[in-house]
Amino acid sequence: MFEKITSFWGGSTPAPTPEVALQKPYDPTDPKVNPLNPEGLKPCCACPQTKSSRDECYMRYGAEADEKCKDLVQQHITCMRNLGFRL
């Protein structure tokens, strides 16, 4: 009888099912979870060539960068997705 009262007031919560407990969130930097990124690169360090080209384009064109740098942005997105990052 008291178990119902305790659970009603939040004293106990049901245990997660084994399937849910075993699932780990997707971590693109974990080589065990993401074989596309065997070095475990973090997003800030992945695709340095396309990232620097994209950044230079934005610095050069300022307000016009959205239009003029589309191709470089797309190349960087493609590179990141090829490493298993979800964008």
pLDDT tens, position by position, 3-30: 555 555 555 556 666 665 567 789 999 9
Provide the whole-model pTM.
Answer: 0.70
pLDDT band at 84 (very low <50, low <70, confident <90, very high): very high
**Ligand-binding site membership of 45 (annotated):** yes
| Predicted local confidence at residue 30, as pLDDT | 94
Q: Residue 6: what residue type?
A: T
What does each C-alpha distance from 19 to 6, 13, 26, 30, 42 come to in angstroms? 26, 17, 15, 20, 28
Residue 77 has what pLDDT? 97
> Per the annotation, does 79 bind a ligand?
no
